[in-house]
Amino acid sequence: MSTDNDLKNIQAEADRPRNKKIDDAYAAYVAEQNNMRIRSDAKSLFFVTVASFIMAANIKFFINQGGLLPGGVNGMAILLQRIALKFGGFELPFSPLSLTLNAIPAYLAFKTVGKKFTAYSCICIVLMSFLTDLIPDPKAAVTDDRLLLSVFGGIINGGALSMILNSGASSGGSDFVAMYFSVKKGISTWNYVLMFNAVIILISGVLFGMDGALYTIIFQFCQTQMLNTFYKKYYKKTVFIITDKPEAVTDGIMSITHHATTVFKAEGAYTGRDHYVVYVILSADELHQVRRAVRGVDAKAFINVLNSENVFGNFFIKPVS
C-alpha cells in the first residue's frame, strides 16, 4: 500500500517538466557509461595496441616492399628515411623521426582536443614507432606485384586506422593538427591535410620515380575506402519512426543520445488509424543503440533510415574526451 511519501514522490515526478526528466535521464546514462570506464579503457587500449602492431608490420611487409608512402607524419618519416639512405648513404631509425615529428602536434592536441584522446594517440605513436624498428625486414617479398601491395597494403592500413579511431584515438601527426585547427578556429582543415599528403607524394615521385607515387595514390585510396566503411562517427543519418508510443520513443532516444526529436501526428492510409512519426538526425555510430532502444519500448515500431548529406543548425556531437 502506498504511503503519503510515495504519493508525494509520484506527484512530484509527474509535475516535473518533461525536458528536465530527459536531461536527468541523459545525465544518468552518462554516469552509467562513466562507471564502465575502466572496462572501456581496457578495451580501447587493447585495440590501439593491436592496431599499432598491424600498422608497423604493414610498413615492413607492404609499404616498404612496394615503395609506397602512408599519409601524414608517418609518410614524412619514411620519406626522410629513404632520402637519407639514397643521398646520404646511411640509415635513419624510424622511431626517433616519428616521435620528433609528432611532438608539437601532440602538444597542440593535448591542450585543445582532449587529454584521453591524446594519451591513447601517443601510446599508438610510441608503440608503432618502436615496433617498426623492432620488426625485422622480411627475407622475401609478400609479392612482386606492386599493385597488389598497394591495394592490400591500403586495405590493411585503413582497417588498422579504423580500429584506432573507433577506440577514441588517432595515429597522430597531421590528424592532431587538423583537429586542433578544427576546434580552435572552427574550420574544416582536412583538405589541407590532403594537400600535405599530395606534396609528400609529389616529392617522393620526383626523387624516387613517379611509379611509386602513382601506386601510393592507389594505396591511399584503398585506405580511405576502408575508413569510410568502418569509421562512421561524423556520418549523419535521418531516422523516421512510425509508432503508437511517441513519448516513450522520444524519451528513449533523447536520454541516450542527447539529440532532440520532432513528432508528427499522422494517419495510416490503409487502416485509417492515427499514428505518430518521430523524426531525428543521429550520428551513424549511434544508430544501432537507438534502434535497440526503440524496439525496447515499441516492438512494432516501423523505422526508416536515410543518409543525410548536410546538416545545418544545432547538431549535438559528443565531445572528444
What are the angstrom distances between the C-alpha of 12 and each of 18, 90, 232, 250? 12, 76, 41, 21
Q: 301: domain CATH number?
A: 3.30.70.120
Q: Domain range holding 105? A: 37-229
Same-domain pairing of 204 and 249: no
Q: In this structure, is residue 16 part of a structural domain?
A: no
37-75 confidence digits (pLDDT tens): 777 788 899 999 999 999 999 999 999 999 999 988 899
168-217 confidence digits (pLDDT tens): 888 887 777 777 776 666 555 666 777 888 899 999 999 999 999 999 99
Phi, psi of 253 (to 5 degrees): -65, -50
Q: In this structure, is residue 14 part of a structural domain?
A: no
Query: Is residue 34's pLDDT more than 70?
Result: no
- Residue 139's pLDDT band, with cuts at 50, 70 and 90, is confident
Match 531516422 to its residue by C-alpha cell: 239
How many whole angstroms separate alpha carbon 298 and alpha carbon 290? 12
Q: In this structure, is residue 147 part of a structural domain?
A: yes
Same-domain pairing of 198 and 104: yes
How many whole angstroms separate alpha carbon 55 and alpha carbon 144? 20
For residue 99, give the nearest of 69, 57, 71, 133 by alpha carbon: 133
Same-domain pairing of 175 and 292: no
Same-domain pairing of 187 and 242: no
How many whole angstroms separate alpha carbon 114 and alpha carbon 320? 6
How many whole angstroms separate alpha carbon 104 and alpha carbon 143? 37
Same-domain pairing of 307 and 250: yes
Q: In this structure, is residue 31 part of a structural domain?
A: no
How many whole angstroms separate alpha carbon 131 and alpha carbon 95? 8
Same-domain pairing of 183 and 117: yes
Same-domain pairing of 275 and 218: no
Q: In this structure, is residue 69 part of a structural domain?
A: yes
Same-domain pairing of 206 and 264: no
pLDDT at 57: 96
Q: In this structure, is residue 32 part of a structural domain?
A: no
Domain count, the chain: 2
